[in-house]
Structure 1
Amino acid sequence: MTHGLPLPDGWLAPAALAPLDGSEVFRGGDAGSVLDFWRYAMPDLRTNTTRGLLAEFLVHRAVGATTRNQEWESFDVPAPGGLRIEVKTSAYLQVWGQRALSRIQFSRLRGRVWTPEEGTAAEPSYNADVYVFALHTALSHADYDPLDVAQWSFYVTSRADVANGRDSAGLATVRRLCGDPVGYRELAGRISAV
Structure 2
Amino acid sequence: MPSDSTAPANWHTPAELVPLEGREAFRGADAGTVLDFWRYAMPDLRTNTTRGLLAEFLVHRAVGAVARNTEWEAFDVLTPDGTRVEVKTSAYLQVWGQRRLSEIRFSRLRGRTWSPEAGEASEQSYNADIYVFALHAARTHADYDPLDIGQWGFYVASRALVEAAGHASLGLASVRRLCGGPVAYEELAGRIATCARSLLLTGETAEASTADT
| Same-fold status (TM-score > 0.5) | yes
Counterpart of 2:173? 172
Q: How does 1:98-113 map to 2 (within 5 A)?
A: 98-113=98-113
Partner Cα separation in structure 1 for residue 117 and residue 8 of structure 2: 12
Matched residue, 1:192: 193
Task: Tell me which residue corresponds to 1:72.
Answer: 72
1:109-124 to 2 correspondence within 5 Å? 109-124=109-124
**Displacement of 1:17:** 1.8
**Residue 88 of structure 2 aligns to a residue in which SS?**
strand
Shift of 1:98: 0.1
TM-score (norm 1): 0.96
Q: Secondary structure at the match of 2:81?
A: helix
Is structure 2 residue 59 aligned with structure 1 residue 59?
yes
CA–CA separation in structure 2 for the residues paired with 1:155 and 1:141: 23
> Cα deviations across residues 103-157 of structure 1 (Å, max 9, x unaligned)?
0000000011000001011111100000000000001001101110000000000
Unpaired runs of 5+ in structure 1? none
Q: What are the residue-to-residue correspondences of 1:1-194 with 2, within 5 Å? A: 2=1, 6=3, 8-10=7-9, 11-164=11-164, 165-194=166-195
Secondary structure, counterpart of 1:27 in structure 2: coil
SS of residue in 2 equivalent to 1:150: helix
Q: Which amino acid aligns with 1:180?
A: G
Runs of 4+ in 1 over 2 A off after TM superposition: none
Amino acid at match of 1:20: L
**Structure-1 separation of matches of 2:111 and 2:34:** 31
Aligned residues: 191
CA distance in 2, matches of 1:51, 1:91: 9
- CA distance in 2 between counterparts of 1:71 and 1:114 reads 10
Shift of the alpha carbon at 1:18?
1.1
Offset, 1:8: 2.2
Q: TM-score scaled by structure 2? A: 0.88
Distance 1:169 1:77 in 2: 20
Q: Distance between the aligned counterparts of 1:167 and 1:41, measured in 2?
A: 30
Distance in 1 between the 2:138 and 2:177 partners? 22
Alpha-carbon distance between aligned partners in 2 of 1:24 and 1:8, rounded to the nearest angstrom: 32
